[in-house]
Amino acid sequence: MFNSLSGRFLILTTIFVFLAEVLIFVPSVARYREDYILARLERSQIASLSLLATDMIDADLEDELLRNAGVFNIVLRRDAARQLILSAPMPLEVSGTYDLREAPAYVLIRDALLRLTEPEREMIRVIGTPVQDAGLVIEATMDSAPLRAAMIDYGIRILILSAIISIFTATLLFLAVRVLLVRPITGVVDHMQAYAAAPEDARRIIQPSAGVRELREAEEALQSMQTQLTSALRQRERLAQLGEAVAKVSHDLRNILTSAQLFTDRIEQSEDPTVRRMAPKLVNSIRRAVTLCESTLAFGRAEEPAPKLSIVSLPEIVDDVFQSERLAVGEYDLEFIDEVPPAFDVRADPEQLYRALGNLVRNARQVIMATTRPGTITIAARDEADDWLICVRDTGPGLPPKARENLFKPFAGGARKGGTGLGLTIVQELIRGHGGQVDLTETSDTGTAFEIRLPKGTILT
């Protein structure tokens, strides 16, 4: 229990309340001592006035007045004269004098503590101001033992009362903490443990219900984190299922394409000029498809293989990309513009660079054709000191806000209805494998531009 939050709070509250009561106890005892002495002085004043009202008083009555006042002698100064009014034999000599007239608080507290810690019996003289202006000064000599006994009794009662108040207050605070803090925190922990057992189950996501603002904010933050984690786990599961499905499809598709490759030799032997011109393009397309299927089977985790770097002709790759896309365009009014300088060579994996440019051009072509308006797609390149820069621009409608926010996230950054949102993710992964980067440099209602940066230096593979 004492290792729990509520248990420790109970202990600390009891200690703090008791300390507060002790701080109250010290001035309370000092005040009690002062009141005790002032009461004896007031009784002494009454006894002296009784004596002054008569000329003579017998010894028995004098002893009775002193006993009722609780003192041994009384001295009253009314004018300039100091007069011993009543007196009785004292068992001890006077050992100290205490003047209560305008005594500061720290002096009263000090004298009270010294009296509590002094067990020896003493005769003390106390001085005060008479009430009702019955004189200038009144003095009395009294025994310290009854005073100390009364102070101890009062102190014990104060300590007992303080302990009762401390325990009662701590118990109330303990119950309040359990209801307002411990119980909600325990509920959050239970939710976390239940969620950890099955994080893919959306029903186990916490629903904020705490009334305390800070706890509710913690529950809302936990809800947001659990929602994102559950979504990520579901997406990961879908990606794993997709990877398995793609591997199966790639296996069968590779067999089909391998068979199709066997027929390309006869196509190349055709006398038809159009067929002979298109045959190399078909051969290259089939070869790329076979290579892609084999890569998918080899890297079933959707990881791209390391690029096989060599010096390749960028204009040839751009021409292959444009030729493939022109076949998909047909009669649509879409122009492909090649602004790559002649003999522009880069260090890259030719197959992966073809796929990266192909995805960018294909995305642009699909978006433009979806608008049913004419358009252009341009590929340009320039040589810088440390990098080769390749820019793919189009005159399409630009990327929607959702696509810009999730630009390179799989299944989330699609720019058109029905798209998978994988194209840009593939481009980014392929270019990163070259040690480069791909950036969106412009997008508006007049078009979009992506820039690929390939480093000229040593590239880790």
Say whether both 233 and 109 belong to one domain.
no
pLDDT of 261-317, one tens digit each? 555 656 666 667 776 666 676 667 776 666 666 555 554 444 567 888 999 999 999
Same domain, 90 and 233: no
C-alpha to C-alpha distance for 197 and 433, rounded to whole angstroms: 37
Whole-angstrom Cα distance, residue 300 to residue 243? 6
Confidence bin at 253 (pLDDT 50/70/90): low
What pLDDT score does 301 carry?
A: 45
pLDDT the model gives residue 310? 92
- Last residue of some domain: 303, 332, 360? 303
Confidence of residue 401 (pLDDT cuts 50, 70, 90): confident
CA distance 315 to 339: 9
Strand ranges inside 288-354, DSSP E = 310-313, 334-339, 345-348
The per-residue pLDDT for 459 is: 43
How many separate domains does the chain show?
A: 3
**E strand or H helix at 77, and its extent?**
strand 73-77
Q: DSSP string covering 389-453, please?
A: EEEEEE-S----HHHHHTTTSTTT--SSTT--S-HHHHHHHHHHHTT-EEEEEEEETTEEEEEEE
> Averaged over 22-49, what is the pLDDT?
85
What residue numbers bound the domain in which 421 lies?
A: 306-455
Provide, rounded to the nearest whole percent, the portion of the chain with pLDDT above 90: 16
Q: Which residues pair with 444 in a beta bridge?
A: 447
- pLDDT of 361-370, one tens digit each? 988 998 998 8
Rounded to an integer, what distance in angstroms lies between the CA atom of residue 46 and that of residue 109?
28
pTM for the predicted model, two decimal places:
0.43
The pLDDT of residue 302 is 46
Please give the pLDDT value at position 276: 65
Map 342-363 to HEC letters: CCCEEEECHHHHHHHHHHHHHH
Beta-carbon contacts of 140 under 8 Å, excluding residues fewer than 6 positions away, are: 40, 41, 44, 69, 71, 72, 73, 74, 75, 125, 126
pLDDT for 418 equals 43
Query: Alpha-carbon distance 192 to 179, whole Å?
Result: 20
pLDDT at site 420: 46
Place of tokens 């494998």: 433
| Nearest alpha carbon to residue 73 among 83, 56, 87 | 87
Same domain membership, residue 310 and residue 284: no
Residue 324 has pLDDT above 60, yes or no: yes
pLDDT of the residue at 266 = 61
Residues 105 and 147 in one domain: yes
Range of lowest pLDDT (14-28, 211-225, 282-296, 359-373): 282-296
Which has the closest alpha carbon to 395: 436, 438, 336?
A: 336
Q: What is the pLDDT of residue 101?
A: 84
Q: Are residues 255 and 112 in the same domain?
A: no
* 185: in domain: no
pLDDT of amino acid 270: 67
Q: Which two tokens stand for residue 60?
A: 């028995």
* Non-local CB neighbours of 118 within 8 Å, separated by 6+ positions: 144, 148
Q: Cα 127–149–96 angle (5° rounding)?
A: 30
* Mean pLDDT, rounded, for 81-93: 77
pLDDT in tens, 410-422: 655 555 554 445 6
Q: Is 186 part of a structural domain of the chain?
A: no
Q: pLDDT tier at 220 (50, 70, 90 boundaries)? A: confident
Q: How far apart are the first and last CA of the chain?
A: 59
193 within some domain: no
Q: How far is CA 77 from CA 45, 339, 422, 426, in A?
A: 11, 121, 108, 109
Give the count of beta carbons closer than 10 Å to the beta carbon of residue 410.
20
Say yes or no: 361 and 417 in one domain: yes
The answer to whether the beta carbons of residues 72 and 90 sit under 8 Å apart is yes
- Residue 432 covered by a domain: yes
Higher pLDDT, 380 or 44: 380
pLDDT-derived band at 338 (thresholds 50, 70, 90) equals: very high
Q: Are residues 244 and 342 in the same domain?
A: no
Both 78 and 139 in one domain: the answer is yes
309 — alpha (psi -120 to 50), left (phi > 0) or beta?
A: beta
Look at residue 419 in the predicted model and tell me its pLDDT.
46
Same domain flag for 55 and 166: yes
For residues 392-420, give the mean pLDDT: 72
Q: Mark which of 241, 269, 303 sits at the end of a domain.
A: 303
User: Quick one: 20 and 157 in the same domain?
Assistant: yes
pLDDT tens per residue across span 138-161: 888 888 889 899 999 988 888 888
* pLDDT for 451 beyond 50: yes
Over residues 423-449, the pLDDT tens digits come to 788 888 889 989 999 999 999 988 999
Q: Are residues 366 and 240 in the same domain?
A: no
Task: Name the least confident of 93-102, 285-294, 450-459.
Answer: 285-294
pLDDT of residue 318: 94
Q: Are residues 332 and 284 in the same domain?
A: no
